Amino acid sequence: MLKTALDDIVMPPSAKLLGWRLLDSRPWDGWLKVGFDGRAEFCNPAGFIQGGILSAMLDDTMGPAVFVTSEGRYYATTISLTVNFIAPAKPGPLTAEAQVIQIGKSVAFMEGKLIGDDGTVLATASTTARLVEAARALR
């Protein structure tokens, strides 16, 4: 696996809760792939993973894509997040992919998708984030 700037920071508790694990990365392309654990504890009464949890997974893929793409210089703080839920998410392994669309001087734009174990696209997202110098944000 390719070494990324993420290797040098401590995984936050929220990422641990979601089962966050880096699967693949192409920093030069602004692309990142992350695996998550779709735990039964995340389910709503209908037996599907609750939408807020799915949103958190997407957010926790798109932000790190900026961190990796900027080689650890910038931490992305979400300004807006739009999620489109396409199919219900069953418990089990989930994969998210993020693409950095543009990084400016103070704002970045990203897109993401969340995929079920069977290859079904479950949700898509777009986000805008304010860029903060990582040295200031990750004290």
Residue 5 has pLDDT above 80, yes or no: no
Mean pLDDT computed over 122-126: 98
Residue 66 has pLDDT above 70, yes or no: yes
Please report which confidence band the pLDDT of residue 14 belongs to, taking 50, 70 and 90 as the band edges. very high
Q: How many domains does the chain have?
A: 1
Mean pLDDT computed over 112-117: 97
Residue 39 has pLDDT above 90, yes or no: yes
Does residue 49 form part of some domain?
yes
Please report which confidence band the pLDDT of residue 7 belongs to, taking 50, 70 and 90 as the band edges. confident
pTM for this entry: 0.94
Does residue 27 form part of some domain?
yes
CB atoms under 10 Å from CB of 18, counted, come to 23
Does residue 1 form part of some domain?
no
pLDDT value of residue 1: 56
3-state SS, one letter per residue, for the chain: CCCCHHHHCCCCHHHHHHCCEEEEEEHHHCEEEEEEEECHHHECCCCCECHHHHHHHHHHHHHHHHHHHCCCCEEEEEEEEEEEECCCCCCEEEEEEEEEEEECCCEEEEEEEEEECCCCEEEEEEEEEEEEEHHHHCC
Residue 103 has pLDDT above 80, yes or no: yes
Does residue 26 form part of some domain?
yes
The CATH number for 105's domain is 3.10.129.10
Residue 2 has pLDDT above 90, yes or no: no
Q: Could you tell me the residue range of the domain that residue 47 belongs to?
A: 14-133
